Amino acid sequence: MSHTAHIPSHRKPRQRASTTALRAGVAGGVLSTIAVAGAAGPAQAEPVTQTIEMPTITEGLSTAVAASAQATQQVAHDLETQAQQDAAAAKAAKTAKKAKAEAVRKAEAEKKAEAAAKAKAEAEAEAEAAERASRTAERTTLSASSGSSGSSGSSASASTTSYSSSATGSAASVVAFAKAQVGDAYVSGGTGPNSWDCSGLVQAAFRSVGVDLPRVSQSQSTAGTQVSLSNLQPGDILYWGGAGSAYHVAVYVGGGQFVGAQNSGTGVVQASLDYDPPSGAVRVL
């Protein structure tokens, strides 16, 4: 046995670790509470009564805000003005486009109308030329027949039989003018003084006494009062074809004869009504 077996130990017995940690936590909590209470105590005992003035940071802020608002309004105004200008420009462009389309349409319509009028005039001229050619052929046949039968010693297309005209006043002047042109050339569209077409000669004869007649045969055939071929008077206008659609006119000079610009082969002649019987007559004087 050891010689120290009966000697009591002088060391304190060991405490458990858990007991030590618990005591340390309690002590720390108490100290924290005391520290907090100590810090809060003086604040409650001595309340702060001093007012600290903060520096003013809005000096000029209102000016900046106002300037910003004004700039925003200006931008909005500019945008609205631009939008209005764009809308006006678009409307003007649309109107111009529509006007251009309308102008093109009208130009095309006028062009078509002109072409139609030209075609109609050409057709009428061809029809009139064909009618005159037919009449010329008939007259040639009639002249040949008259010459072969010996019933006439001269061509009917140039008859100059003398007679006493009963025409007086303006009618006499018309007759005298027409007879004075016998022998002149026939030219389509001719209005004198040395070449004529049928309506040009009639118009000039009446103009010599101050009467203005239409230029074409169709209109001259309805320029006066319709009269019967059995009741003709010197100065009456004879027409061939229908009233309003006549293709030839001449002046009745009395004695059963007329003066007219017949065709390019005969020119202006004085001839008998039997040579080329007219369709009707109108009286102007």
Q: Please, what is the average pLDDT of the chain?
A: 76
Contact assessment for residue 173 and residue 208, using Cβ atoms and an 8 Å cutoff: yes
Q: What is the pLDDT of residue 98?
A: 87
Contact assessment for residue 239 and residue 248, using Cβ atoms and an 8 Å cutoff: yes
Domain boundaries along the sequence of the chain:
73-145, 163-283
| Interatomic CA distance for residues 221 and 90, integer angstroms | 59
- Over range 8-26, report the average pLDDT: 53
Cα torsion 258, 250, 135, 230: sign: negative
Half-sphere exposure (Cβ direction) of 194: Cα atoms closer than 13 Å: 0
| Interatomic CA distance for residues 238 and 260, integer angstroms | 9
User: Strand pairing partners for 195?
Assistant: 185
Q: What angle do CA 37, 42, 45 make, to 5 degrees?
A: 115
pLDDT in tens, 133-189: 555 554 444 444 433 333 333 333 444 333 444 566 899 999 999 999 999 999 999
Cα torsion 142, 145, 149, 155: sign: positive
User: Strand pairing partners for 270?
Assistant: 259
Instruction: Tell me the DSSP string of 47-68.
Output: ---PPPPPPP--TTHHHHHHHH
Is the pLDDT reported for residue 97 higher than 50?
yes
**Cα separations (Å) of 84 from 72, 73, 81, 112?**
18, 16, 5, 42
Any idea what DSSP says for residue 191? B
User: Strand 185-186 and strand 195-196: pairing?
Assistant: parallel
Q: How far is CA 129 from the centre of its chain?
A: 37
Contact assessment for residue 218 and residue 244, using Cβ atoms and an 8 Å cutoff: yes
Half-sphere exposure (Cβ direction) of 249: Cα atoms closer than 13 Å: 35
Record the pTM.
0.46
| Interatomic CA distance for residues 247 and 260, integer angstroms | 13
Q: What percent of the chain has pLDDT over 70?
A: 62
**What is the maximum alpha-carbon separation in the chain?**
208
Contact assessment for residue 260 and residue 201, using Cβ atoms and an 8 Å cutoff: yes
- Over range 37-59, report the average pLDDT: 54
**Superfamily the domain 163-283 falls into:** endopeptidase domain like (from Nostoc punctiforme) (3.90.1720.10)
Is the pLDDT reported for residue 248 higher than 60?
yes
- Over range 2-20, report the average pLDDT: 52
Q: What is the pLDDT of residue 140?
A: 47
pLDDT in tens, 215-237: 999 999 999 999 999 999 999 99
Q: What is the pLDDT of residue 126?
A: 63
